[in-house]
Amino acid sequence: MIKRKTLRIGTRDSELATWQAKKVAQQLSKLGQETELVFVKSEGDIDLSTPLTEMGGKGVFTKALDDALLNDEIDLAVHSYKDLPTENPLPLKVAAVLKRADARDTLVAPGGTDFLEDEDYEAVIATSSNRRRAQWLNRYSNHTITNIRGNVNTRLRKVEENEWDGAIFAAAGLTRIGLGDHISQYLDWMVPAAAQGAMAIMIREEDLVLQRLLNDLNHQETELCTRIERDFLHDMEAGCSAPVGGYATIEDGTLHFKAVALMLDGSERFDFEVSEPAEEAGELGHRAAEELLKQGASKVIDEMSED
């Protein structure tokens, strides 16, 4: 067992981010490693009014933690993996991917979900995600999407305070901090964001000793699935704000991958879905992107570039 001085774990200060950092601290404690949490404010935490899509998407929640690592203010940073840009020009690396939680999206609807059965009802649904927006409008074209910002607790409060019919949340974010009772419906039909439900630990590239310690926390199946999803996202040249989703799972040695790209208004959709042996699926994310681009999904990326 490798043991170092007290490790400084960098994290955002929201309840969910703190929960995730404490989870890593607990796992390191089981290895006999002492830790302390260091709280860092990100641009996405400070600016709660600008829609995420207007803030550029990439690095909104991660840049401050990157800077803290580069300045040796922390030893490792804990992220929701879906927040990490697929391109990383910095001397930093993902050292471990923890076992994934529920990757699904969910609907929180304080007044119930009966309105979904009324084809003529013009519901108002809150989300700041273009991926969720496009998939929702593809399914419910007469609904209206409104923007919502803030951490999980803030967004739940906004749903209660406003006359919206519902808002879309990640299942993992709600259940990790004991708020799963707010879930009105699991959106099994919605393709999640790449790496949704997974946590990633970032360190400095040269820290080989810490890398060896963190190898014990890495979950290989989750690492493979999220890598395929992020390869797809990268090759689509689609950042965190793009209406693109990808989700890989492994069952009995078979990896199943589905991917989607949509126009922002949900009017056009491109799908990819395939299953193959997990040991042969390493390049599947790249192949999925190639196939969707052949179908014409490049217009999805072109639309994002025009904004």
For the annotated catalytic residues, the residue numbers are 83
Strands (E), 12-121: 35-39, 76-80, 92-97, 105-108
What count of residues does the chain have? 307
For residue 9, the SS3 value is: strand
CB atoms within 10 A of CB 299: 14
Q: Tokens 């700041």 belong to which residue?
A: 128
| Dihedral sign of CA atoms 292, 296, 300, 302 in order | positive
Give dist(CA 83, CA 99) in Å, integer: 17
DSSP code for 77: E
Give dist(CA 250, CA 176) in Å, integer: 22
Give dist(CA 92, CA 62) in Å, integer: 12
Q: 293: which residues sit within 8 A by CB, 6+ positions away?
A: 236
For residue 253, the SS3 value is: coil
Q: What angle do CA 32, 37, 43 make, to 5 degrees?
A: 145
User: Residue 246 forms beta bridges with which residues?
Assistant: 259
Give dist(CA 231, CA 6) in Å, integer: 34
Q: What is the dihedral of CA 65, 68, 74, 75, to 10 degrees?
A: 80
> Residue 156 is encoded by which pair of tokens?
């739940």
- Give the amino acid at 143: H
